[in-house]
């Protein structure tokens, strides 16, 4: 079978944070069928919003998982761990060689603006970029149900492009697909993260022993109306593609910091 680059068959690692039995990861692995050797290594249970957490005080176990895409059964492991654990373990122990591409998702629900920080979906991709491998995170902007068909088609288009031309070191692509049929998508827009925040409100309840417990139930606030933002693109029916890097240094503030003269 020919591959986008015409070279040897690429190895593509697929992970997610919704868990290995989620509809979105089946949609993603199926959408990439034929682009290379596809291996799935994903959390056994849902790990949404775990961010970049890793497991260091417990063992990480992996068991073979029956995973079928249209062309047949593929290698797959379910991991008792986080999305970042999955990528680390896959690359160090489970895969036959270093993958050419790591894709994560397709997440059920958007991962845009400040939520990238909390996202396990994005963190699987981040871990890959830390290890020097091109990576893409995909999210379908609908919180439950729906149809991953359009998201799958977009995932294939973006993945083919990255396999063909690679990505700059340390940069991943965070892709959000609006909840629209493929024919109604307006196009693909390159965006930046919108400024946003959560206004937290913990609901307080009582357990059977009369003690209070709290359940996080915040309200998302968009502070940024730019149409060059991820949220702006999604709102207007465009697929949003944001290049993201994990260097958290505030480069634009370094010069000003020098003038603080902190030496003593």
Query: Where do contacts with Mn ion occur on this chain (CB under 5 A)?
Result: 17-18, 48, 107
Q: Which is nearer to Mn ion, 23 or 161 (CB)?
A: 23
Instruction: Write down the least CB distance from residue 210 to Mn ion, Å.
Output: 34
Nearer to Mn ion, 48 or 176 (CB): 48
DSSP per residue over the chain, as a string?
Answer: ---TTSSSPPEEEEE-SS-TTSHHHHHHHHHTTTSSEEEEEEESS--TT-TT----SS---EEE--EEETTEEE-EEEESS-HHHHHHHIIIIISSS--SEEEEEEEES---GGGGGT-HHHHHHHHHHHTT--EEEEEES-SS----HHHHHHHHHHHHHHHHH---TTEEEEEEE-SS-GGG--EEEE-BPPPEEEE--EEEEE-TTS-EEEEE--EEEE----TTBHHHHHHTTEEEEEEEE-----GGGHHHHHTT----
In the bound complex, what is the minimum distance in angstroms from residue 148's beta carbon to Mn ion?
Answer: 13
Q: Token digits for 41?
A: 């290594």
CB closer to Mn ion, 107 vs 129: 107
Residue 208 Cβ vs Mn ion, minimum distance, rounded to whole Å: 30
- Least separation in angstroms between residue 98's CB and Mn ion is 26
Q: How far is the CB of 243 from Mn ion (least distance, A)?
A: 21
Residue 262 vs residues 249, 252, 254, 257, 259: alpha-carbon distances, Å: 18, 18, 13, 9, 8
Comparison of 47 and 191: residue with beta carbon closer to Mn ion: 47
> Minimum Å distance from CB 150 to Mn ion?
18
Give residue number: closest CB to Mn ion: 48
CB of 140 or CB of 238, closer to Mn ion: 140
Q: Which is nearer to Mn ion, 144 or 212 (CB)?
A: 144
Nearer to Mn ion, 17 or 230 (CB): 17
Least distance from Mn ion to the Cβ atom of residue 123, Å: 11
Q: Are 122 and 103 in contact (CB under 8 A)?
A: no
């Amino acid at each position: 079978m020919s591959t986008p680059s015409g070279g040897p068959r690429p190895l593509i690692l697929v992970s997610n944070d919704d868990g290995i039995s989620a509809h979105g990861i089946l949609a993603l692995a199926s959408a990439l069928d034929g682009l290379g050797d596809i291996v799935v290594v994903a959390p056994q249970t849902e790990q949404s919003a775990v961010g970049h957490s890793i497991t260091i005080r417990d063992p990480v176990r992996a068991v073979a998982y029956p995973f079928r895409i249209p062309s047949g059964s593929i290698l797959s492991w379910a991991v008792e761990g986080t999305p970042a654990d999955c990528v680390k373990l896959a690359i160090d122990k489970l895969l036959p060689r270093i993958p050419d591409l790591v894709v994560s998702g397709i997440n059920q629900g958007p991962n845009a603006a400040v939520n990238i920080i909390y996202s396990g979906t994005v963190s699987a991709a981040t871990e890959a970029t830390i290890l020097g491998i091109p990576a893409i995170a995909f999210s379908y902007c609908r919180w439950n149900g729906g149809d991953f068909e359009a998201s799958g088609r977009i995932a294939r288009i973006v993945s083919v492009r990255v396999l063909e031309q690679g990505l700059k070191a340390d940069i991943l692509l965070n892709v959000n697909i609006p909840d629209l049929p493929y024919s109604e998508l307006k196009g693909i827009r390159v965006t930046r993260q919108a400024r946003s925040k959560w206004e937290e409100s913990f609901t307080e309840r009582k357990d059977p022993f009369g003690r209070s417990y709290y359940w996080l139930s915040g309200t998302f606030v968009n502070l940024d109306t730019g149409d060059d933002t991820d949220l702006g693109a999604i709102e207007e029916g465009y697929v949003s593609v944001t290049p993201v890097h994990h260097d958290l240094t505030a480069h634009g503030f370094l010069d000003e910091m020098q003038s603080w003269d902190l030496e003593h």
